Amino acid sequence: MRRNEEYRFCPRCGGGLERRQVKDGEPKRLVCRRCGFVFYLDPKIAACTIIEVEGRIVLLKRAIPPALGSWVIPGGFVDLGETVPGAAVRETREEASVDVAIGSLVGVYSYPDVSVVIVVYEAVITGGTPAAGDESSELELFDPSGIPWQSLAFASTRDALRDYLDRRHHGAIYS
Ligand SMILES: [Zn+2]
């Protein structure tokens, strides 16, 4: 099913939505037949952190769908009114039970078939002890050589860890 078809009614007036070409060269939009409201479907933004503890990387085993039972880095959706690094700090506290200071940007990850844009930062622990919090069944520290590449939850998890380890390996980060 096309994502566009999940919404049937105008959030403003309750009229029916239809797919309509609003501007040449852009995707068709959901437009209200009654009031003309254009329902733009924008990507959501997620903010995540890669944290190292004595050379090992914090990963969480997901206790909820999607990707239940696979490994992720701490992170979650950015709320309206929140900064992206602020969301990364909050989500890391909720999921990994630690306070962190945000460092360099690891990367921004987006995929044609994924409705989320994922922003990943390096972070260092400033308080607390890593432990599984919301949405996770386990927290484990992985040596870079032992990252469970076959059991990572998302393409962004894999790509961010690769980018991070690549740069670290070449001395760009900790030289
Ligand atoms: Zn309407």
Mean of pLDDT values over 74-98? 97
User: What CA–CA distances, in Å, run from 16 to 3, 31, 66, 106, 140?
Assistant: 16, 8, 30, 42, 48
User: Do 91 and 157 fall into the same domain?
Assistant: yes
Q: How many domains does the chain have?
A: 2
Name, in order, each residue with C-beta under 8 angstroms of 172's C-beta and a sequence gap of 6 or more.
none
Ligand 1: distance of its center to the CA of 23 in Å? Answer: 19
Q: How far apart are CA 41 and CA 31, in angstroms?
A: 11
Residue bearing tokens 């003309």: 36
Q: Which of 163, 140, 147, 114 is nearest to 62 (CA)?
A: 140
User: For residue 66, is the peptide bond before it cis, meaning its omega torsion is within 30 degrees of 0?
Assistant: yes
Q: Could you report the per-residue pLDDT of 153-172, keeping only the tens digit for each?
A: 999 999 999 999 999 866 54
Q: Which of the 8 DSSP states describes residue 8?
A: -
Ligand 1: distance of its center to the CA of 31 in Å? Answer: 8
Q: Please report which residue ranges of 35-154 form alpha helices under DSSP H.
A: 84-96
User: Do 57 and 32 fall into the same domain?
Assistant: no
Ligand 1: distance of its center to the CA of 28 in Å? Answer: 17
The CATH number of the domain holding residue 22 is 2.20.70
Question: Which tokens sit at 134?
Answer: 């919301």
Mean of pLDDT values over 131-147? 92
Q: How far apart are CA 163 and CA 106, in angstroms?
A: 7
Q: Could you report the per-residue pLDDT of 33-69, keeping only the tens digit for each?
A: 999 999 999 999 999 999 999 999 999 999 888 889 9
Q: Confidence band (pLDDT; 50, 70, 90) for 98?
A: very high
User: Do 24 and 106 fall into the same domain?
Assistant: no
Residues in the 5 Å CB sphere of ion ligand 1: 10, 12-13, 15, 32, 34-35, 37
User: Do 32 and 85 fall into the same domain?
Assistant: no
pTM: 0.87
Q: How far apart are CA 158 and CA 138, in angstroms?
A: 19
- Residue 87's pLDDT is 98
Q: How far apart are CA 85 and CA 136, in angstroms?
A: 21
Domain span at residue 26 reads 3-39
Report the SS3 class of residue 97: coil
- Max Cα distance, the chain (Å): 61
